[in-house]
Amino acid sequence: MIVNKSLFNKGLLLMASFSCIFVSLFLPIWGGGKNGLDAADDMFNRLSKGSSYFIPDVQKQALKLEGKTVTVTAKVKDAKLAPRAVENLIKAGATAELKDGAVTYTGDLGKILGAALADADDMFKNNGKAVLERYGVSDKDGEKAITKAWWVVLDPSIKELQKQKLIEEAKIVGNVNKRGLEPGYNFYGIAGEKVLDNVLPLVGLLVFYVVYTMWYGYAIFDLFGGIGMGMSKPKIKKEA
């Protein structure tokens, strides 16, 4: 069945070495007891965080809204977080109540957003303790609940503000969620790093990915070539 033994053995060697490395990627030997995939994912998360700190810019936008009083009724999808959202708003100086799954609040929009961003900033800097102390909370993962509660009440507030023709205000609320609360929540607990400080590991990982992909491709190519199943341009039959 093998028509080209040397080519087949070459493919077999490539496939065997590829398989060994492939298996090793799933073993906890890549630092910190992590497997290769988790280690790579952790590195990209650190680099992503290092280039995702937009909170100071959004805080400047929120400051422009100080003195702007709004009344909003926001339908909160996560019923468990609705009471927490009410407490957040009251802490920010607003009046708020929960009724039939909706939070109705009245207050200075600039100060409300400023309070949300203060929590987001502490979360981004992995200072969850400051968030807990600010609200007098000691629950496990309470800092995450507080941050998420801000998001779930501000997200539906965007459309409500748009209905009131407060377009610029709605845009800033959207920025608070996307560029403040989301990075703060998602990157909490991750140490941010700059890409320029990790050029060599990043390039090495990308080069490895390309080489490793070609490695597998050549292994398959040589194995099939060794058993006579190669790829060649078909001969064109000429009519007599």
pLDDT tens-place string over residues 24-73? 988 888 877 888 888 888 888 888 898 889 999 999 999 999 999 999 99
pLDDT tens-place string over residues 157-168? 999 999 999 999
pTM of the model: 0.76
pLDDT, position 54: 95
3-state secondary structure 95-113: EEEEECCEEEEEEEHHHHH
pLDDT tens-place string over residues 120-179? 999 999 999 999 999 999 989 999 999 999 999 999 999 999 999 999 999 999 999 999
